[in-house]
Structure 1
Amino acid sequence: MGGKRKKTENEGTERDGIVSVNNESNKKIKKEILPSMIKNKEKRYEVHAKLKQQKKLEKRKKLKARDASEKHALELGQEPPPRMVPRTIENTRELDETVCKPDDEELFAGNDADEFSSILKREQTPKILITTCRFNSSRGPAFIQDLLRVIPNAHYYKRGTYDLKKIVEYANKEEFTSIIVVHTNRREPDALLIIGLPEGPTAHFKLSRLVLRKDIKNHGNPTSHQPELVLTNFTTRLGHRIGRMVQSLFPQDPDFRGRRVVTFHNQRDFIFFRHHRYIFETKESKSIDPKVKKANDGKGENIAQEKVIARLQECGPRFTLKLISLQHGTFDTKGGEFEWVHKPEMDTSRRRFFL
């Protein structure tokens, strides 16, 4: 019969159904072994540390090469190469047809006829009624005291045993523009209900990550000046409506001398609330005058220069809101019509946002 065929370098032998591969392929396999595949704990940690150090060095080399190319382009008077934009959940969000556009005439026409137009046009001054749920907690009054310092022209009324519909009727008679109800659970504020008057709408928010003013380290003392309001990233029709509702709680003529800033920042449908005041400080920086240095044979003299530095000081409180529902009209649990309701099936995609 025929003679035995010689084995090539890339060929293995087969014994009892087990294929043994040559040394070169074994080396390739060893290189692709992950730390999670190593059973020995010390060896696994050692390999993981080496891989981490190697990635760190490669990243540092890339940064140095990028900085060198930018510096070289600036020396030649050319435009530096464009930087890569990292992929984030925000810039890879799902397309939404309700995102507001600058040339949306229908949106601007609706702004002139909505429930907040009289306040935002400065035809009416905001007047806020703040109350609690029927079962109050220990941190509830402290949180309300902080809200009274933040929102101008806000008044606190004890809830007692009054029904919320009767409170709405009373607030309409006293010409309040909004009602804020602080709901508590297990001695902790966990929800906010904002009711626009006289015709609504009603927004229900989940409240979380509350830090009171007294618990913030090195907190500032807010003045009685009307604050400047900053709203960011309310991009959709729903977000635009929520932003106008929040905006209607504050006067539209801020007093910039008070240096107070109230921020509502929307990120991934979570609204982060912050209250700051900015401070201007003058600091002296020493520099050597080159003319004096030449005259004194290299021995320069220090010249004091004053620089104005601006910094932020947090006044508190600090909390996060998440929209649960938006209802037409004032509060009505039985016959109310909802504009938008958050449901669990809406959270199937991490890149789908509604505000």
Structure 2
Amino acid sequence: MGVKRKKSETEELVEGGKSNDKNIESSYKKKREILPSMIKNKEKRSIVHAKMKQEKKLEKRKKLKARDANEKRALELGEEPPPRAIPRTIENTRELDETVCRPDDEELFAGNDADEFSSVLKQERTPKILMTTCRYNSTRGPAFIKELQAVIPNAHYFKRGTYDLKKIVDYANKKDFTSIIVVHTNRREPDALLMIGLPNGPTAHFKLSKLVLRKEIKNHGNPTGHKPELVLNNFTTRLGHRIGRLIQSLFPQDPEFRGRRVATFHNQRDFIFFRHHRYIFESKESKGSDSKVKKVKDAKGEKIVQERVIARLQECGPRFTLKLISLQHGTFDTKGGEFEWVHKPEKVFLVTCSGYCLEFHHFEKEAFSGEGVIPATTDVEICNN
């Protein structure tokens, strides 16, 4: 006996009398649609992919033109233009943080007058920074510190040698330093940054990544000796406010605007991005036809070419990213130190096909206060289910 052929969906719909022309057309379209991943030939696959990408681009451009035309038509008729759709991003869809500082928070601003940074930020003390490295150092560590010295005024570099960090803290207190910055290197690459406020702390430990020195930046500029302007973005939570004041205490509070230098710390998704720029004003002749350019004449009646001033940014370096690992009360103390905040790992369980449970940790922000507690490192444990 022969095996009966299985009828297609289209044939079943036609025989059952349930189909119409639209259903048949849609089923044929699905069959005719070929995705690039279905094509085995690499050259043909890349051609089809490029064609599909171009079609999507043209379709998007048509939608934008139609939207602009509708807005223009509505404005000509004196009507309100249709509202634009707001794109869905990680920033506008994340959960609201309860610790966000409000402008009317009197308790927060009253505490600012009595915290560890108030004397520097009120200009009662001049910021004086001591910079050093870890004991086992590489050439890239001092090179990074040299560029940090160009960013932060009144910063002094001392070789670490074999001195303990507690002895360095005592020495810095006696010499009237306001902060200590320690650059830690691993495999000849700076990977951590320690900021210690003096004389009473706090101590912030940051993970350092994506370091780019000045000579590696294309078309970089050389900074001048003027005091820079400081820009802090998105330090809005209680923790962010405290870290922002710690960073602010490293810089003088009377910037010299003539130098046109800007140091930016931009906080986004709990990563702090640092950039160092200088802004330049250039005068260029205005382009365009004689009808568009305004004709100006002097007292003698001669034509004067108008010049327009253009402002642009030039990066001076370095460029790096910071992520906060812990914030500790007081100066550096690994044994009896009290932590204000640490990255505490959270356990997540995954059951595998073989019946074993993989227990692994991923870092999660959590406000924490305890004595001598340090977050565990990321690890993987296998246990019976």
Band the TM-score falls in, shorter-chain normalisation: 0.7 to 0.9
Which one is further off, 53-62 or 243-252? 53-62
Find the residue that maps to 2:326 and give its secondary structure: strand
Equivalent position of 1:143 in the other structure: 144
Q: CA deviation at 1:56?
A: 2.1
Q: Percent identity?
A: 77
Determine the C-alpha separation between the residues in 2 that align with 1:40 and 1:323: 47
1:103 aligned onto 2:104: yes
Residue by residue over 1:98-148, the C-alpha shift from the partner in whole angstroms, topping out at 9 and shown as x without a partner, is 111222222112212211111111121111000110011011111111011
Give the Cα–Cα distance (whole angstroms) in 2 for the partners of residues 174 and 206 of structure 1. Answer: 28
Aligned to 2:84: 83
Q: Are the aligned partners of 2:100 and 2:238 in contact in 1 as well (CA < 8 Å)?
A: yes
Equivalent in the alignment of 1:222: 223
Question: Alignment partner for residue 8 of structure 2, among 20, 35, 55?
Answer: 20
Residue 298 (structure 1) aligns with = none
1:123 lines up with 2:111 in the alignment: no
Q: Give the aligned residue type for 1:320.
A: T
Structure 2 counterpart of 1:167? 168
Q: Name the structure 2 match of 1:62.
A: 63
Residues 80, 22 of structure 1: alpha-carbon distance in 2 compared, 3 angstrom cutoff: closer
Deviates more, 1:119-128 or 1:249-258: 119-128
Change (3 A) 1:34 1:239: farther
SS in 2 for 1:90: helix
- Contact 1:328–1:336 under 8 Å retained in 2: yes
Aligned to 1:239: 240
SS in structure 1 at match of 2:279:
strand
Once the two structures are superposed, the pairs formed by residues 306-321 of structure 1 within 5 Å of their partners are: 306-321=307-322
Deviations 1:37-72 (A, max 9, x none): 736446765654554333222211110011112222
- Report deviation, 1:210: 0.7
Output the CA distance in 2 between the equivalents of 1:269 and 1:262: 19
Call closer, same or farther: CA 1:256–1:354 in 2, change over 3 Å. farther
Distance 1:312 1:292 in 2: 27
- Residue 276 of structure 1: aligned partner: 277
Q: Which runs of 5+ in 1 are unaligned?
A: 1-14, 294-301
Correspondence for 1:35: 35
State the partner residue of 1:188. Answer: 189
Offset, 1:272: 0.7
User: Alpha-carbon deviation of 1:154?
Assistant: 0.6
CA separation of 1:160/1:323 partners in 2, compared to 1, >3 Å: closer, same or farther? same
Q: In the alignment, residue 342 of structure 1 is paired with which amino acid?
A: H
Aligned to 2:381: none
Normalised to the residue count of structure 1, the TM-score between the two structures is: 0.85
Which amino acid in the other structure matches residue 216 of structure 2?
A: D
Distance 2:27 2:165 in 1: 70
1:317, 1:93 → 2: CA distance? 31
How far 1:323 moved relative to its partner?
0.7
Aligned-CA RMSD value:
2.9
Q: Is the 8 A contact 1:207 1:321 kept in 2?
A: yes
Aligned counterparts, 1:263-302, within 5 A: 263-290=264-291
Provide closer, same or farther for how the CA distance between residues 81 and 133 of structure 1 changes in structure 2, counting only shifts above 3 A.
same
C-alpha distance in structure 2 between counterparts of 1:142 and 1:78, whole Å: 60
- Rate the CA distance shift 1:21–1:291 in 2: closer, same or farther, 3 A: closer
Indicate conservation of the 8 Å contact 1:226/1:258, yes or no: yes
Equivalent residues of 1:200, 1:329 under 8 A apart: yes
**Aligned in 2, Cα 1:26/1:335: closer, same or farther, shift over 3 Å?**
farther
Work out whether residues 274 and 321 of structure 2, in 8 Å CA contact, stay in contact via their aligned partners in 1. Answer: yes
Gaps of 5+ in 2: 12-20, 295-302, 349-359, 368-385
Aligned length: 332
Deviations 1:125-179 (A, max 9, x none): 1110001100110111111110111101111111111100011111111111100
Q: Letter of the aligned partner of 2:330 in structure 1? A: G
Alignment-mate amino acid for residue 38 of structure 2: I
Shift of 1:221: 1.4
Quick check: 216-225 or 280-289, which moved more? Answer: 280-289
Paired AA for residue 35 in structure 1: L
In structure 2, distance between residues paired with 1:225 and 1:74: 49
The answer to whether structure 1 residue 177 and structure 2 residue 178 are counterparts is: yes
Q: CA deviation digits over 1:250-279, x for unaligned, max 9?
A: 011101001000000011111111111101
- State whether residues 263 and 273 of structure 1, in contact with CA within 8 Å, keep that contact through their aligned partners in structure 2: yes
- Give the AA of the match of 1:104: D
Is 1:251 matched up with 2:232?
no
Most deviating of 35-44 and 325-334: 35-44
Alpha-carbon distance in structure 2 between the residues aligned to 1:71 and 1:182: 56
Any idea what SS the aligned residue of 2:93 has? coil
Query: Which letter maps to 1:331?
Result: F
Shift of 1:232: 0.3
1:176-229 Cα deviation digits (max 9, x unpaired): 110000100111111100001111110001111111112222211111110000
Q: Is the Cα contact below 8 Å between 1:288 and 1:303 reproduced in 2?
A: no
Instruction: Give the Cα–Cα distance (whole angstroms) in 2 for the partners of residues 70 and 353 of structure 1.
Output: 44
- Judge conservation of contact 2:232–2:264 (CA < 8 Å) in 1: yes
Q: Which moved more, 1:219-228 or 1:69-78?
A: 69-78
Q: What residue is the counterpart of 1:9 in the other structure?
A: none
143-152 vs 22-31, which deviates more?
22-31
Q: Is the 8 A contact 1:239 1:354 kept in 2?
A: no
AA of the residue aligned to 2:10: N
